[in-house]
């Protein structure tokens, strides 16, 4: 069976048109600081039955619907594309982050899964079944699916948004990304177990067997194959031609794992995702290989997949207003309440918790992939699929602006927030007294405080116990009658004796004033500085820099 | 129409197995300094009906033949792959080389097309028709196809072989690569015209119209679209996100051009090839983009295509010994006689001409793509296809060893041949006389000549006309009673006055002794040095180097 010349022509034109529209709309959304995936999905809706099929049915039909062979060829291509996309998404997961979670991340991810599930399950069970359920299952399965669907996040979109907002490497960004990784992992395993359980795919394993196999597959991959691959990758890079050998190796592994999970009866993309995680985890994988795969897949294959989604369903005919609104409300409520409450419980303030909530609320690509599978399996109907896609788009689009809003409202109280080139003071002071006077002078000007009072507060603290903490760092500090914390960083190239235990003179002097009534702000700042003072070589290098911008940048990286 | 879970599983396993075998056999051939494409084709023969299908028909059938849908999906993928491969092959063509051909390249490429065509045409017309012709055409068309098929070369394989033999940047390498580019271009246009003419593809253009359209397409692409693209590429790189925008742009253009030529009624790959040429011609295209596309296509898509060739035909069942041997003889004879004679006519010696002949003899990938199309169009039968593939493999495999053999036999008489770290002499001489004495001393020792005689010959030449040619270069030379030319390169950091027209003191002094009876050897060397002395900044930099190896390398790159 081969494609005819006319079919080849249409197939190639189809790919060109899809890529062109995906790129153009993707770039437009990029310009507005939105993930390009949103534009790509809209491109599909425009080219699909919803718009092009409605306005110019002849063009639409002759482009995409003339031959079943083209649909099959396109289906093969998009299957390959989504497998490659999940492989790359997996490669972006940082397992070490998952293994060493902070308290906030644990609370956020845990409640970020439980709450949406608990909120959406009864809705799905009692209300949506009439308008959303597919043909092939019972209300319970449907409700479990909806619960899972509304509790997952979209790691690639979230990571992209955090990068755009310059939050990725901040503590709050790390909490979000860790929770999202954990969330995705649990969500996908849950979904895989679900479709394994109901045995929709036509193979011979019993539901229990499938669940066991998913469990074994995940454990063996994460704990055994990961170690083997970590040893194998350098060998492949050395013995085979580079980068050809390793590129092939990665795709062969990805496609094989995908084939394996598809064969178990869960979906191909689960295997690709897990394989991506363990390949990406290897420290031996060269950055250029990672970058090459990332660029090629996200720019050629991912758009083809996302744009093909809009081709499948008529978004106007299957638009159910009430359903869309309800799903949107439940989706927002579940994630904001779940993640936000989790973050708050772990000790973060209200604004930070809301930032985390809206950050985790992006459903983007992942929701759509899940929805598409559910549609193909008959778990949900077209109306519900359309509502899920719209919800994924809306949550992703609103994520960045909402986060920005609460970022501005949030009180600046971490060191990284407070740092700016204006806080850096190059001091020529000869001793501690001289230095503290100089810094107190500048600080009192900035905070509109009385100079004598500032100096008194600071020196009182120094008298009771000198604040040199070693590794060339000192932290003179006092609580004053101010609303927001203030900081200065004195840089002394010659060093000032702060009586540190290691006898090292302080070269980096954090001068900190915090509000009188907020004990925890001071404690947090001191803890953060202590954490950033572990590497004396780095501290010394920073103190030797001559550019204020550079110093700020390096302290943030500590 | 969508693929079922079982079909997806088999499709993914199929891709994994094909990629794995292609990589392994490709690497084995790489180790033996052979192009990996040969290994990839053999992998296909092993996995196809020839070996796996013969030995383990059940495995073969369940892997590749169980569902027609998988064949169609695979066909879509390999179509995309071959279009991408030709796009990349086109990008490797250097149009400026074609536009500024040397006399040798003109003779070689011209006779390298004419002679194989003239030799093979009567064979095909009178003898092969019985055993090689397909169903859908007459002996004349068949004979023209065979003529074209035996007169093309395989640019990618040739370029690869030249790189392996470190010949690519040498004069002989440039002749081969230029001829191959020209040869490919003519061959593909010829083939396109042929399939346009016979109107095998089912569309409505008349043969004359098709020929006109191919002609117009080629001319408009090369002279109009090329200029437009050259202006558009920097805009795309600036306005769109990088490298995503330009990657998409290139593939959209490639697929569109492919669809267009497929629509005309010639094959998709012709459009992709021409589009590749004009994209690759743009000086604005960034090297990293080129590299990324090259690596991805040659490592993921090209292997999938080549390995799929072996899946199509049973190479044992369709092996016709006499046919294979005759095609091999005609193929070798045509190219060696044609290209070799062309090179000889243009003034090269016998061994160089034979090196060019064997270099051009590689048929590799191109022959196989052409053969596959001819098979699909019914122009040739399976037996002839098998013979063409075997011929392509044999000519490609033998190319490197045969070239090496004649390379060793060839007299070393180009500058690059003669250069080695031992020829570099760092001189502290204060003036010309002192320097010439020093070099004559060393040269007479190396060539077992009388010192006084060497010095006499050299100084006699200098007296009649000083050999400082400007740009910090001088070429003292003499003809002596020796069998092979000898060279020394004096490096003078302080510079020696050789009375050059630009008053620059010579820092690079080529000291050349050539055989008395071979006038042309001296002329060639002098011309080569003059050509390598155009950039005075580079010369100065070379003279300032302190490593002999480095100097040799840099002079070779001039």
Residue B112 lies in a domain: yes
Among partner residues A247, A265, A303, which is closest to B300 by beta-carbon distance?
A247
Question: Which two structure tokens, joined as six digits, stand for B159?
Answer: 């370029």
Given pLDDT bands bounded at 50, 70 and 90, which one contains residue A97? low
**What is the pLDDT at residue A324?**
93
C-alpha A275/C-alpha A416 separation (Å) is: 35
Among partner residues A76, A203, A247, which is closest to B73 by beta-carbon distance?
A76
Same domain, B452 and B378: no
Position of tokens 């107190």? Answer: A440
The residues in A 246-265 lying below 8 A from B, measured between CB atoms, are 247-249, 251-252, 255-256, 258-259, 262-263, 265
C-alpha A520/C-alpha B455 separation (Å) is: 91
C-alpha A361/C-alpha A363 separation (Å) is: 6
Given pLDDT bands bounded at 50, 70 and 90, which one contains residue A370? confident
CA of residue B144 relative to chain centroid, distance: 24
Same domain, B211 and B306: yes
Residue A279 lies in a domain: yes
**What is the pLDDT at residue A331?**
93
> How distant, in Å, are the alpha carbons of A126, B425, B465 from that of B452?
110, 20, 20
Render pLDDT for A209-222 as a digit per residue (tens, 0 to 9). 877 888 899 899 98
Looking at the complex, report in whole angstroms how far the Cα of residue B183 sits from the nearest Cα belonging to chain A.
26
Residue B2 lies in a domain: no
Domain's final residue, options A409, A444, A466: A409
Alpha carbons within 13 angstroms on the beta-carbon side of residue B179 total 37
Helix (H) or strand (E) run with residue B509 in it:
strand B506-515
Position of tokens 């490429």? Answer: B109
> Which residues, 6 or more positions from B445, have their beta carbon under 8 angstroms from its beta carbon?
none
**What is the pLDDT at residue A412?**
66
Same domain, A277 and A249: yes
Question: Which two structure tokens, joined as six digits, stand for A458?
Answer: 């600071």
**What is the pLDDT at residue B391?**
93
C-alpha A516/C-alpha A435 separation (Å) is: 23
C-alpha A525/C-alpha B286 separation (Å) is: 46
Same domain, B240 and B381: yes
Q: What does the pLDDT average to over B261-284?
A: 85
> Which residues, 6 or more positions from A405, have their beta carbon under 8 angstroms from its beta carbon?
none
Position of tokens 């069998």? Answer: B483
Q: What does the pLDDT average to over B266-273?
A: 82
> Which residues, 6 or more positions from A426, have their beta carbon under 8 angstroms from its beta carbon?
A491, A493
Residue B6 lies in a domain: no
Least confident of A296-310, B67-81, B406-420: B406-420
User: Helix, strand or coil for residue B282?
Assistant: coil
Closest to A496 (Cα-Cα) out of A510, A480, A478, A485: A510
Q: The domain spanning residue A335 has which CATH number?
A: 1.20.1530.20
Same domain, A32 and A176: yes
Residues above pLDDT 90, as percent of chain B: 23
Residue A1 lies in a domain: no
Contacts of B376 in chain A (CB under 8 A): 2
Residues above pLDDT 90, as percent of chain A: 22
Render pLDDT for A71-89 as a digit per residue (tens, 0 to 9). 899 989 988 998 998 898 8
**Contact A65/B at CB under 8 A:** no
Residue B3 lies in a domain: no
Is the model's pLDDT at B24 over the cut of 90? Answer: yes
Q: For residue B27, what are the domain limits?
A: 11-409
Q: Report chain B's mean pLDDT, rounded to a whole number.
A: 85
C-alpha A510/C-alpha B111 separation (Å) is: 81
Give me the DSSP letters along B342-394. HHHHTT--HHHHHHHHHHHT--HHHHHHHHHHHHHTTSB-HHHHHHHHHHHHH
Same domain, B436 and B494: yes
> How distant, in Å, are the alpha carbons of A5, A370, B141, B182, B217 from that of B195?
12, 46, 9, 20, 16
C-alpha B291/C-alpha B298 separation (Å) is: 10
- Residue B131 is given by DSSP the state H
**What is the pLDDT at residue A169?**
66
**What is the pLDDT at residue B118?**
92
Domain's final residue, options B409, B438, B471: B409
Strand B473-474 relative to strand B468-470: parallel, antiparallel, unpaired? Answer: antiparallel
Same domain, B114 and B187: yes
Same domain, A155 and A285: yes
Residue A442 lies in a domain: yes
Is the model's pLDDT at B77 over the cut of 80? Answer: yes
CB B381 within 8 A of CB B363: no
Is the model's pLDDT at A201 over the cut of 60? Answer: no
Render pLDDT for B386-396 as a digit per residue (tens, 0 to 9). 999 999 989 98
Residue B508 lies in a domain: yes
Same domain, A350 and A493: no
**Contact B300/A at CB under 8 A:** yes
**What is the pLDDT at residue A462?**
85
Residue-wise over B161-177: b if at least 16 C-beta within 10 A, else e?
bbebbebbebbbbbbbb
CB B498 within 8 A of CB B434: no
Same domain, B363 and B498: no
Position of tokens 């990672």? Answer: A290
Same domain, B399 and B379: yes
Given pLDDT bands bounded at 50, 70 and 90, which one contains residue A11? very high
Is the model's pLDDT at A178 over the cut of 90? Answer: no
Render pLDDT for A295-334 as a digit per residue (tens, 0 to 9). 888 888 888 988 888 888 898 899 999 999 999 999 999 9
Same domain, B396 and B462: no
C-alpha B357/C-alpha B403 separation (Å) is: 9
**What is the pLDDT at residue B202?**
56
Given pLDDT bands bounded at 50, 70 and 90, which one contains residue A357? very high
Going B204 to B208 to B214 to B218, the CA torsion angle's sign is: negative
Closest to B104 (Cα-Cα) out of B277, B330, B356, B276: B356
Angle between helices A103-123 and A350-360 (to 10 degrees): 60
Question: Which two structure tokens, joined as six digits, stand for A493?
Answer: 């190239």
CB contact under 8 A, A77 and B80: yes
Given pLDDT bands bounded at 50, 70 and 90, which one contains residue A481? confident
Q: What does the pLDDT average to over B47-66?
A: 88
> How distant, in Å, are the alpha carbons of A58, A165, B79, B303, B445 from that of A61?
5, 42, 22, 34, 83
**What is the pLDDT at residue B211?**
77
Given pLDDT bands bounded at 50, 70 and 90, which one contains residue A172? confident
Q: What does the pLDDT average to over A136-157?
A: 83
Is the model's pLDDT at A132 over the cut of 80? Answer: no
Domain's final residue, options B409, B442, B467: B409
Number of domains in chain A: 2
Q: Which residue has the higher pLDDT, B406 or B98?
A: B406
Contacts of A5 in chain B (CB under 8 A): 201-203, 262, 265
**What is the pLDDT at residue B43?**
93
Closest to B305 (Cα-Cα) out of B262, B259, B257, B268: B268
Q: Report chain A's mean pLDDT, rounded to a whole number.
A: 85
**What is the pLDDT at residue B101?**
62
**What is the pLDDT at residue A128?**
72
Given pLDDT bands bounded at 50, 70 and 90, which one contains residue A137? low
Looking at the complex, report in whole angstroms how far the Cα of residue A295 sits from the nearest Cα belonging to chain B.
7
CB contact under 8 A, A255 and B201: no
Render pLDDT for A431-475 as a digit per residue (tens, 0 to 9). 888 989 999 888 888 888 888 888 888 888 888 888 888 889 999
Q: The domain spanning residue B527 has which CATH number?
A: 3.40.930.10
Q: A65 — phi, psi (to 5°)?
A: -115, 5
Looking at the complex, report in whole angstroms how far the Cα of residue A307 sits from the nearest Cα belonging to chain B.
14
pTM, whole model, 2 decimals? 0.73
Q: What does the pLDDT average to over A495-511?
A: 88
**What is the pLDDT at residue B390?**
92
């Amino acid at each position: 069976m081969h494609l005819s010349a006319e079919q080849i022509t249409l197939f190639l034109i189809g790919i060109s048109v899809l890529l062109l529209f995906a790129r153009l709309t993707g770039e437009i959304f990029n310009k507005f600081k939105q993930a390009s995936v949103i534009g790509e999905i809209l491109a599909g809706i425009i080219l699909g039955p919803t718009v092009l099929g409605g306005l110019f049915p002849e063009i639409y039909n002759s482009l995409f619907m003339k031959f079943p062979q083209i649909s099959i060829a396109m289906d093969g291509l998009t299957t390959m594309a989504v497998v490659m996309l999940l492989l790359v998404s997996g490669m972006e997961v940082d397992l070490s982050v998952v293994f060493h979670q902070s308290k906030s991340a644990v609370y956020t991810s845990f409640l970020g899964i439980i709450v949406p599930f608990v909120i959406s399950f009864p809705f799905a069970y009692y209300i949506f079944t009439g308008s959303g359920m597919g043909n092939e299952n019972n209300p319970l399965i449907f409700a479990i699916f909806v619960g899972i669907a509304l509790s997952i996040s979209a790691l690639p979109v979230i990571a992209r948004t955090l990068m755009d907002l310059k939050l990725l490497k901040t503590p709050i960004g790390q909490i979000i990304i860790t929770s999202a990784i954990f969330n995705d992992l649990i969500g996908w395993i849950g979904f895989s177990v679900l479709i394994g359980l109901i045995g929709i795919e036509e193979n011979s394993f019993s539901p229990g067997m499938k669940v066991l196999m998913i469990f074994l597959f995940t454990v063996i991959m994460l704990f055994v194959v990961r170690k083997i691959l970590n040893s194998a990758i350098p060998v492949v890079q050395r013995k085979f031609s580079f980068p050809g050998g390793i590129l092939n190796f990665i795709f062969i592994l990805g496609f094989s794992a995908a084939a394996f999970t598809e064969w178990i009866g869960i979906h191909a993309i689960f295997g690709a995702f897990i394989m991506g995680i363990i390949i990406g985890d290897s420290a031996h994988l060269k950055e250029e290989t990672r970058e090459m795969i990332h660029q090629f897949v996200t720019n050629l294959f991912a758009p083809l997949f996302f744009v093909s989604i809009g081709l499948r369903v008529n978004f106007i005919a299957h638009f159910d207003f009430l359903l869309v609104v309800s799903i949107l409300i439940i989706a927002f409520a579940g994630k904001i309440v779940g993640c936000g409450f989790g973050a708050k419980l772990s000790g973060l303030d209200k604004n930070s918790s809301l930032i985390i909530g809206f950050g985790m609320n992006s459903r983007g690509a992942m929701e759509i992939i899940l929805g598409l599978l559910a549609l193909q399996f008959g778990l949900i109907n077209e109306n519900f699929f359309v509502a899920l896609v719209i919800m994924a788009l809306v949550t992703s689009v609103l994520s960045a602006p909402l986060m920005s809003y609460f970022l501005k409202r949030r009180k600046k109280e971490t060191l990284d927030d407070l740092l700016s080139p204006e806080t850096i003071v190059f001091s020529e002071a000869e001793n501690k007294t001289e230095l503290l006077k100089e810094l107190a002078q500048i600080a009192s000007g900035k905070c509109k405080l009385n100079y004598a009072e500032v100096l008194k507060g600071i020196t009182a603290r120094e008298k009771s116990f000198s604040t040199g903490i070693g590794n060339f760092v000192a932290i003179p500090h006092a609580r004053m009658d101010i609303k927001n914390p203030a900081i200065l960083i004195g840089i002394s190239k010659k060093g000032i004796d702060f009586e540190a235990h290691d006898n090292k003179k302080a070269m980096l002097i954090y001068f900190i004033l915090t509000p009188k009534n907020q004990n925890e702000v001071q404690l947090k700042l001191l803890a953060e500085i202590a954490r950033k003072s572990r590497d004396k070589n780095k501290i010394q290098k920073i103190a030797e820099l001559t550019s204020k911008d550079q110093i700020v940048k390096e302290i943030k990286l500590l």
